[in-house]
Structure 1
Amino acid sequence: MPSNTEVRKVDDPQELEKVFAVRREVFVGEQNCPPELEYEFEDVSTHFLATVDGEPAGAARWRKTDKGYKLERFAVLSKFRGYGVGQALVKAVLDDLPADATYVYLHSQVQAVGLYEKFGFKPSGPQFEEAGIQHFKMVKG
């Protein structure tokens, strides 16, 4: 049972490599996402690393788009799922958004919709496929 979950914003190359390693394991390894789709917009994104007892456990990012602020790439390593790491990541990313972030949205994998609903996101539009995985666009109300 993990005891100490911490989420921090990272921009140091060594810390970013931990973020990318988590994403690589979850998206490319587990979910078979094409690597070329997984790594885009890295230089214009604000990245977060979740650790449990000092060990990398999860990752996420946000970036400004032409529509508003998009939350992306939420990933939690399988051995840390079910311990609140995902919730800690969503909270940290939302808390970091600029004050002018009035339109906040994300593309949620179908199985994660409930997590984002806890934070006030609501599905918007039909289900769609992205990188071979079913998603819903969700907008923060």
Structure 2
Amino acid sequence: MPDPSKIEVNQVNSPAQLEDVFAIRHEVFVLEQGCPPELEIEFNEHSIHFLATVDGQAAGACRYRKTDKGYKLERFAVLKRCRGFGLGQQMVRAILAALPADAEYVYLHAQLDAVSLYARFGFEKDGPEFEEAGIRHYKMVRPPAP
């Protein structure tokens, strides 16, 4: 893919966009990483979804949901051909900006390769490494703003 001229990350607001989100996540998590499909789709109906586009083409997806602990950021996925252009950073920036004002406890489960990405946004490891869907992760928490 040539250098993208326009990257956008927006909250999903149509069934077609939601289909793009699910297709991206299926390709990245189920086909590429071998996650069980039933785990990949859990909590979809309780989540706020985001779609990232590169030059108008669907390229990445992420979501957040409210849990009994706080707000959990999840399912960050970028299509292989779109990696290396800063899409992950744009998605983290967009999802953090969209969180409700009462989102004091914000956390995520970061795959090892993504720990440094989330650390750039103030997330810190919280606890030991663990396995989720056959992939090594760290729980990361974003300290509340002072």
TM-score range, shorter chain: over 0.9
For residues 137 and 72 of structure 1, what CA distance do their matches in structure 2 show?
11
Identity %: 65
Aligned partner of residue 101 in structure 1, secondary structure: coil
1:65 paired with 2:37, answer: no
TM-score for both structures, normalised by structure 2: 0.95
- Residue equivalent to 1:116: 118
Deviations 1:16-67 (A, max 9, x none): 0000000000000100000010001111100000000001110000000000
Give 1:108's aligned amino acid.
A
The equivalent residue for 1:96 is 98
SS of corresponding position for 1:112 = helix
Name stretches of at least 5 consecutive residues in structure 1 with no aligned partner. none
Q: What is the CA-CA distance between 1:79 and the residue it aligns to?
A: 0.8
Aligned length: 141
| Equivalent residue runs for 1:46-85 within 5 Å | 46-85=48-87
Structure 2 runs not aligned, ≥5 long: none
- State the distance in 2 between where 1:131 and 1:11 align: 29
Partner of 1:12: 14
User: Which amino acid is 1:52 matched to?
Assistant: V
SS state at 2:73 partner: strand
- With normalisation by structure 1, the TM-score equals 0.99
Q: Within 5 Å, which residues of 2 pair with 1:24-43?
A: 24-43=26-45
Structure 2 Cα separation of the partners of residues 137 and 11 of structure 1: 29
> Please, what is the CA RMSD of the aligned residues?
0.5
**Structure 1 outlier segments of 4+, above 4 Å:** none
